[in-house]
Structures are given as C-alpha cells and as structure tokens.
C-alpha cells in the first residue's frame, strides 16, 4: 500500500505529468527559493526531490513580497508531440483589499532539469493558471478569473483563453466558462484535459481549507457548456454537499472531519500510467487537534482512481473520501534515494533540500571557502522581506531533532548566528550566538517572534567562549525547545518550551498557505559581511513520534 501523504511537509498544489515511464510532480513554493520543486517517481509510491524550475532570483524577483505571496500553483505538463515540458506559474504580488494582483507566465524545456526558456507573460486574469495541449495542436490557458466587483459571486469563475506559441501571447481576452460543479464556493485550481470526445475541467471547490475538494465537469466543446459530475466532489475530506457560495473565506474550520486522517483534501491533478491505471494527486493537511493548526502546512497525497463506463473519474473504492492508505500501482517498485539525515557539507555544493526566503541560498551560503563547512554570510534581520540569510529545509514531521556545530565570533551586537524554527518572517524562534555588551563577551540567547511581536528572552542569556558550540532544536509534538553543548555530548537545556502548533497557517496573522522550516541563520545588520561556519546540519525525524499520536489517534509520519 501507499501511505499518504507521499510528500510530507510544505508541498501544496501538486500537478503531475508523465513522460514515458517517468512521473514528475511539481508543487507551489510561494516566497521560497529555489522555486517550484519537482519530484520524480517511476512507481508513484517512491518519490525523490529531483530538481527546481526557478533558480534565478533576479529573473523572478520575489524580494519584498510578504509571506504567502510569490509562486502559486504551478502547472507542469509534457507535450509528447513537441517533446517539451511546459510550466505555467503565477507570481502573486499582492492580496491587498482582496484584489489578488498576479502575473502569469509560461516557460518550456526539453529536459525537466532545464535549461528553461525565458518567461512569456500570459495575463493577470486570476491565479492557478494551467495549460491544455489540444489534440489539434492548439493550446488553451485556464485560470480563476478573480472577482472584485460588488454584487458578484466571489471569488469568481474559471476562464479560458487560447495561447499562440507562434506569437507567444494569448489570443484576445479570457472568457468565463464555469462556476463550479458544487455549491461549496471558492472555485479555483482548474486543470483542463481531453479524453476521447470530452474536455474535462477539474477544479478545487470549497476553499483551500477544511471544506476543500476536487470536482469535475466535462463538455464536448472546449468553450462549454460544461456539465457537472453527478457525484461531485470526487475527492474530499468532508463528503456531502453544503452551500457556501456566499462565503469567500477559504479556511472554514467548521468542516473539519474527525473521521478523516487527511484534512483539506483538494486541488487535484491526475495522470494515467502506461498500464492504463489512473492516479490523482491532491493537497491535504494533518492538523493538531483540537487547535486545528497545521504546522507542516499543506502536503501532497495520492488516490487511486478509475474511469466509469459513462466517462466520469471516480476513486477506485467508489467513495470520495481521501484515504490514508492507497493501493499501489502495478508498475515495478523503484526505490529512490532519500535526503540524508546528516549533511557534513563535504559534497562541494549545497544539497538540493535547502531553501531560503525570497533569494537563492547560494547568494549567501558558501561550501567552497572552507571545505567541509557551510559558510553563511550575514545580511538583514530574520524579519526582513528582502535579504535574510536563512538556510533551511522543510519540516516533514512534528517529531524531529535538529543539530548543528557552529563557529562564530560576533564583534558587535548586530552580529548573530544560530539555529531557527521558522514559519515566516513574523513567526519564528531563534537560538543565536551574539555579542552581549552587558556581559562584554559572546553569549547565547533566544529570540521569539510571534505574529510580529518580538521577545528577546534575556533570562536565557548564557555567556560562551568563541570556540565551536553545538546547538540543538527538539520538536516533540506540541512542544519545542532548544539545547546547547560545548562538546557535542552533554547538552544543556536553554529557555522555555514553545508551542509548536503556533507555527502554522491557522495561527499566523501575516502569512498563510506555506509550512514550517528548520535551518541555519546568520545576520550582520551593519556591513552584511560577517559570517558563521557550520560544520554539519543533522535533521532526524521519528516517524512513530515516540508512540505519540494526534488527538484522533493517528501517528504522525
């Protein structure tokens, strides 16, 4: 069996495609670089992080964008006729006054690892844009046409426009073609496919929260009219129909289903295997209960599907409730390499698992200057929306131990470096070494930022010498805390326990849609030159959670 989620941690809005016997799955990256992670599998069970589509932080500039803006819902497709991969992605620039100012682009590549073409601007008519390569050679772009006018149903309707590869532009203006297959409201995430005589329009409805779902409509003409699947929604965490067209709020916690392991199931994309099987990937979440806070963010799950005799897509078991365990494909099992728990930085280049907010990690993290170490050059504060030096990896379990060995000699109070649990620039905890003028020497202490309110926990101030120091972050369910050691053997606890649940979409007032990260960080708020050297980064998870479970009895993966 396949156990969901297949991609734990911050991996939302999945889009899947196949080239021969290779499967590729792209997810959203929001303000994080490198952008648009792509995972690879040959059996739909074992997945590995394969590449990233966006690696130029000047070509796609995310600096100064608030949390949860940036790269939304990439569409990854493969055109066999052209032997060409396509990625359509949106850059969400602003959500002020609920206008949702987005720019949608298209890029192509012969190889999934690139190089990718220069971005072609498509339009700004809403988000979640995706492309259909029609059987007659024409290409179509669908997206959510975001509604801002008073008296109109919000958030809007799905729109369609033709794309001309020759002119590298859309033809005319997008036109609205569908308002959804249920009354759950908040339609988004359109994917247009063609099978036989029908065009199929798969969407998400109910908001990307607890009422989320995957729905389907079909038509004999690409412009419609589209008829809705009589079983809609076809995948969800909360079966049944409800009327929410009047409420544009996406979260809807009242639809939490205590009988489902996977919550928020929706935003789907399907693929047919070379054996004729059908699988659908979708986002999901696993909240702390009763807080209903998803520290790991929105994750990616997979369901086995089938086509009915009358041409509708269904879950293979005949229900529409997203399942934790799913039958495997008949494809030969193909194990993949896992990201190592221990990174000694000996490889000569940064591992593929590292990210940074808004800028490429290589712009401040160097593994060549001192072989066997990563040297992180300090820049602005961790609250910055511009250039913060945070080398992080996604938190994939709420039971984890993160350890590093750091060499750092702060010279002024504006120098600091250490270990961080980071949701966004307004929510983090940071065990850092810094220069204390009060003590007249280097010291350790903790900075806690909670929804923009900064607390420097001066009672944690601990004098230390300018020699290597070991730092550790322990995450155990709802509780997280720091430790430090002079020798890497005996660790001493420092500071209080923190509430892990608060590092979540639901608790954050300034960001949403992403997930928590753990990582290494350095700041030099004077000259942006001072650096810290880290000997290793160890990220160890306990899948069983030391026997602990969620409030409804399900062990966290």
Q: Position of tokens 């021969």? A: 20
143, 204 contact by CB (below 8 A): no
189: left (phi over 0), alpha (psi -120 to 50) or beta: left
Q: What is the spatial distance between Cα 197 and Cα 195, in angstroms, rounded to a whole number?
A: 6
Non-local CB neighbours of 4 within 8 Å, separated by 6+ positions: 261, 262, 284, 301, 302, 322, 323, 324, 325, 326
Q: What is the spatial distance between Cα 53 and Cα 31, in angstroms, rounded to a whole number?
A: 14
39, 113 contact by CB (below 8 A): no
Residues 152, 158, 164, 169, Cα dihedral to 10°: 50
Please report, for residues 10, 160, 347, 523, 537, the alpha-carbon distance to residue 350 in angstroms, rounded to integers and kept in the order given.
20, 41, 7, 20, 12
503, 295 contact by CB (below 8 A): yes
Q: What is the spatial distance between Cα 380 and Cα 385, in angstroms, rounded to a whole number?
A: 9
Q: Closest Cα to residue 457, out of 445, 449, 444?
A: 445
Q: What is the spatial distance between Cα 557 and Cα 554, in angstroms, rounded to a whole number?
A: 9
Tokens (6 digits) for 128: 């979640």
One-letter-per-residue 3-state SS of 270-300: EEECCCCCEEEEEEEECCECCCCECCCCCEE
Per the annotation, the verdict on 13 as an active-site residue is yes
120, 169 contact by CB (below 8 A): yes
Q: Position of tokens 């008296």? A: 151
Q: What is the spatial distance between Cα 315 and Cα 229, in angstroms, rounded to a whole number?
A: 13
User: Which one-letter DSSP state was computed for residue 489?
Assistant: S
Please name every residue paired with 383 in a beta bridge, in sequence order, or none if there are none: none
Please report, for residues 181, 256, 265, 266, the alpha-carbon distance to residue 204 in angstroms, rounded to integers and kept in the order given.
10, 17, 9, 6
Q: Position of tokens 């799905």? A: 158
**What number of CA atoms fall less than 13 Å from residue 126's CA on the CB side?**
28
Of the residues 43, 188, 505, 512, which is catalytic?
188
Per the annotation, the verdict on 227 as an active-site residue is no
- Other C-beta atoms within 10 Å of 387: how many? 17
Beta strands 278-285 and 299-307 are: antiparallel
Q: What is the spatial distance between Cα 119 and Cα 554, in angstroms, rounded to a whole number?
A: 43
Active site residues: 13, 188
């Amino acid at each position: 069996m396949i156990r969901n989620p297949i991609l734990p941690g911050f991996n939302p809005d999945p889009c899947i495609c196949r080239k021969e016997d290779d499967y590729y799955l792209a997810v959203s990256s929001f303000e994080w670089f490198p952008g648009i992670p792509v995972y690879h599998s040959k059996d739909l069970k074992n997945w590995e992080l394969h590449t990233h589509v966006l690696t130029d932080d000047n070509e796609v500039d995310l600096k100064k964008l608030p949390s949860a803006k940036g790269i939304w819902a990439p569409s990854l497709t493969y055109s066999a006729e052209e032997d060409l991969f396509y990625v359509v992605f949106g850059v969400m620039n602003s959500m002020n006054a609920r206008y949702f100012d987005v720019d949608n682009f298209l890029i192509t590549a012969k190889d999934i690892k690139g190089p990718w073409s220069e971005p072609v601007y498509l339009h700004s008519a809403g988000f979640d844009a995706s492309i259909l390569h029609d059987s007659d050679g024409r290409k179509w772009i669908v997206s959510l046409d975001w509604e801002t006018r008073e008296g109109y149903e919000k958030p809007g309707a799905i729109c369609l426009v033709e794309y001309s590869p020759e002119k590298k532009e859309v033809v005319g203006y997008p036109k609205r073609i569908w308002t959804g297959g249920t009354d759950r409201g908040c339609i988004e995430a359109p994917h247009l496919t063609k099978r036989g005589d029908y065009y199929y329009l798969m969407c998400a409805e109910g908001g990307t929260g607890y009422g989320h779902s995957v729905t389907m409509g079909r038509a004999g003409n690409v412009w419609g009219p589209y008829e809705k699947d009589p079983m809609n929604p076809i995948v969800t965490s909360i079966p049944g129909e409800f009327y929410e067209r009047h409420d544009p709020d996406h979260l809807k916690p009242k639809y939490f289903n205590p009988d489902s392991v996977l919550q928020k199931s929706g935003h789907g994309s399907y693929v047919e295997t070379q054996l004729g099987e059908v699988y659908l990937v979708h986002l999901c979440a696993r909240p702390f209960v009763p807080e209903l806070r998803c520290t790991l963010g929105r994750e990616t799950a997979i369901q086995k599907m089938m086509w009915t005799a009358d041409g509708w897509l269904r879950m293979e078991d005949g229900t529409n409730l997203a399942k934790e365990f799913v039958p495997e494909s008949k494809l030969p099992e193909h194990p993949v390499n896992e990201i190592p728990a221990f990174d000694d930085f000996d490889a000569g280049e940064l591992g593929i698992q590292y990210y940074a907010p808004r800028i490429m990690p290589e712009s401040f993290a160097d593994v060549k200057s001192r072989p066997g170490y990563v040297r992180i050059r300090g820049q602005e504060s961790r609250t910055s929306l511009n250039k913060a030096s945070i080398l992080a990896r996604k938190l994939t379990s709420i039971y984890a131990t993160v350890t590093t060995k750091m060499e750092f000699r702060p010279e002024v109070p504006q120098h600091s470096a250490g270990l961080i649990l980071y949701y966004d620039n307004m929510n983090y905890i940071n065990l850092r070494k810094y220069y204390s003028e009060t003590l007249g020497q280097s010291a350790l202490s903790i900075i806690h930022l909670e929804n923009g309110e900064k607390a420097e926990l001066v009672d944690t101030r601990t004098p230390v010498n300018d020699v290597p120091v070991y730092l550790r972050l322990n995450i155990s369910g709802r509780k997280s805390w720091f430790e430090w050691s002079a020798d890497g053997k005996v660790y001493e606890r420092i500071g209080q326990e923190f509430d892990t649940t608060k590092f979540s979409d639901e608790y954050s007032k300034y960001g949403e849609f992403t997930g928590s990260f753990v990582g290494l960080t350095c700041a030099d708020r004077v000259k942006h030159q001072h650096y810290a050297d880290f000997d290793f980064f160890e990220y160890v998870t306990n899948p069983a959670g030391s026997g602990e479970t969620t409030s409804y009895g399900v062990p966290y993966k």
